[in-house]
Amino acid sequence: MESERRLETYLTEAEDRIDWVLAHPGMSDWLKETLRGACERDPVEVLNDLEMLDHLLRRRAQAQIERSLSRIGHESGGLEQTKEKQG
Alpha helices (runs of H) in 1-87, residue ranges in sequence order: 2-23, 29-39, 43-86
Tens of pLDDT, residue by residue over 26-63, are 999 999 999 999 999 999 999 999 999 999 999 999 99
* Angle subtended by helix axes 29-39 and 2-23, to nearest 10: 150
39 closest CA partner among 14, 8, 20, 68: 14
Helix (H) or strand (E) holding 24: none
Q: How far lies 54's CA from each of 15, 50, 51, in Å?
A: 21, 6, 5
Question: pLDDT: is 75 or 53 the higher one?
Answer: 53
Domain boundaries, the chain: 1-40, 43-87
